[in-house]
Chains A and B, each alone.
Chain A
Amino acid sequence: EDQVTQSPEALRLQEGESSSLNCSYTVSGLRGLFWYRQDPGKGPEFLFTLYSAGEEKEKERLKATLTKKESFLHITAPKPEDSATYLCAVIGSGTYKYIFGTGTRLKVLA
Chain B
Amino acid sequence: DAGVIQSPRHEVTEMGQEVTLRCKPISGHDYLFWYRQTMMRGLELLIYFNNNVPIDDSGMPEDRFSAKMPNASFSTLKIQPSEPRDSAVYFCASTSLSSYNEQFFGPGTRLTVL
Residues of A near any B CB (own CB < 8 A)? 31-32, 34, 42-46, 49, 87, 89, 91, 95-103
Contact = CB atoms under 8 A, between A and B. Distances in A.
Nearest to B55: A96
Nearest to B49: A96
Contacts of A87: 42-43
A31 B56 CA distance: 17
Nearest to B50: A96
A97 B45 contact: yes
Nearest to B39: A102
Contact of A95 (B41, B56, B91): B56
Nearest to A103: B42
Given A43-B91, A43-B107, A103-B42, A96 B48 contact: yes
Interface of B: 4, 31, 33, 35, 41-45, 48, 50, 55-56, 58, 91, 93, 95, 100-108
Contacts of A34: 101-103
B48 A97 contact: yes
Contacts of A95: 56
- For the complex of A and B, list the 7 residue pairs with the smallest distance between their C-beta atoms, beginning with the closest: A43-B105, A102-B42, A100-B43, A46-B102, A44-B105, A32-B101, A97-B56
Most chain A CB neighbours (cut-off 10 Å) among B33, B43, B103: B43
Contact of A98 (B33, B55, B58, B100): B33
Nearest to A99: B45
Contacts of A97: 45, 48, 56, 58
A98 B43 CA distance: 10
Contact of B43 (A42, A44, A45, A46): A44
A32 B31 CA distance: 16
Contacts of A91: 101
B107 A42 contact: yes
A44 B3 CA distance: 13
A102 B45 CA distance: 13
A100 B36 CA distance: 11
Contacts of A45: 105
